[in-house]
Amino acid sequence: MLGIQDSWKKPDDLAQLAANAIAYADQRADVIVPENRRTQLACARGCDHCCYLPVETSVPEAIHLALAARDTFNKDALAALALRAKAAASAYGLAATNGGAPENIPCPILEDEACGLYGARPLACRGWNSLDALACEQAKERGTREVKIPLYTPLRAVYATTGTALAKGLSAAGLEASVYLAPALSAFLSDNADAVVSAWLNGEPLAENQPPRTPSS
Ligand code: SF4
């Protein structure tokens, strides 16, 4: 039987897998929850509280973002992003050492209160939304265990089900299904990114700075 490793051998292949999943979910979201029916959402450009929460994603989506960064940013901007990702990865590592959840750590892609790679953002970010910006602000400060954010669930569900399907496919192939975005991005922006991808395709986890997952809200 063909496994995922037979079809997806290179970073480009894995990025395409993520792009396909994202395109599928975007299409479903537009049909199920049209833009003009999302008026109750509190989300708007310049409101970036959620980008300080830990983002769980898949390795293909993190690779998709890393390749988009390489295509989008010039050398200096890419180097700055890699440094921010490394700093965020260290903060995640510290949280893991202290046995806590990584909270209030800015996503390395966040720039000027907006997503610097909006078109390539992962499923978790696409589906995340809020009906209450104040709750988001409080969750940023105190963590999502303390403050629950009211969500517009139809939109969240569209992206969550696609993410779950992708994770199940990766798990079935014996691959790590879920990782934190910031440390994964740091690994895939590093000089040994190809070796990291190969190791992951051989079933090794992205151990570096990956604290234990917490159930997502
Ligand atoms: S990828 Fe973009 S939308 Fe998602 S947390 Fe990072 S900056 Fe925010």
CA of 36 to the centre of ligand 1 (A): 23
pLDDT of residue 217: 38
Q: In this model, does residue 216 exceed pLDDT 50?
A: no
Using a 6 Å cutoff on CB, does residue 87 contact ligand 1? Answer: no
3 domain residue, yes or no: no
Radius of gyration of the chain (CA): 17
3-state helix, strand, coil split of the chain in percent (to 5) is 60, 5, 40
- Kindly provide the residue ranges of all beta strands, DSSP E only, lying in the chain, ordered along the sequence: 56-57, 110-111, 114-115, 179-180
**Model confidence pLDDT, tens digit, residues 27-39:** 999 998 887 777 8
- In this predicted structure, what is the pLDDT of residue 1? 44
User: Does the beta carbon of 47 sit less than 6 angstroms from any atom of ligand 1?
Assistant: no
Please indicate, yes or no, if residue 215 is contained in any of the structural domains: no
Task: Decide if 109 contacts 116 (C-beta within 8 A).
Answer: yes
Q: Tell how far the Cα of 191 is from the centroid of ligand 1, in angstroms.
A: 23
Average pLDDT over residues 159-173: 95
Whole-prediction pTM value? 0.90
170 CB within 6 A, ligand 1: no
Considering its fold, how many domains does the chain have in total? 1
Distance 99 CA to ligand 1 centre (A): 24
Q: Is residue 39 part of a domain?
A: yes
Residue 55 near ligand 1, beta carbon < 6 Å: yes
148 within a domain of the structure (yes/no)? yes
Nearest CA to ligand 1 atom 5: 51
pLDDT at 215: 45
* Residue 156: other Cβ atoms inside 10 A: 19
pLDDT, mean of residues 161-183 = 94
Has residue 174 been placed in a domain? Answer: yes
Does ligand 1 have an atom closer than 6 angstroms to the CB of 15? no
Q: What is the mean pLDDT of residues 113-131?
A: 96
User: Which residues form the domain of 121?
Assistant: 8-201
- Residue 32 in contact with residue 158, Cβ under 8 Å? yes
| pLDDT given for residue 34 in this prediction | 80
CB–CB of 62/178 below 8 Å?
no
Structure tokens at 158: 């569209």
- Can you give the pLDDT at residue 155? 92
Query: Average pLDDT, stretch 6-17?
Result: 83
CA 76 to chain CA centroid, nearest Å: 23
Contact predicate 107/85, CB 8 Å: no
Q: Environment class of residue 56 by beta-carbon count within 10 Å: exposed (0-12), middle (13-18) or buried (19+)?
A: buried
Query: By alpha-carbon position, which residue is closest to atom 4 of ligand 1?
Result: 125
Q: Does the residue 214 lie in any domain?
A: no
Residue 13 host element (H or E): helix 11-32
Six-digit token string for 51: 């980008």
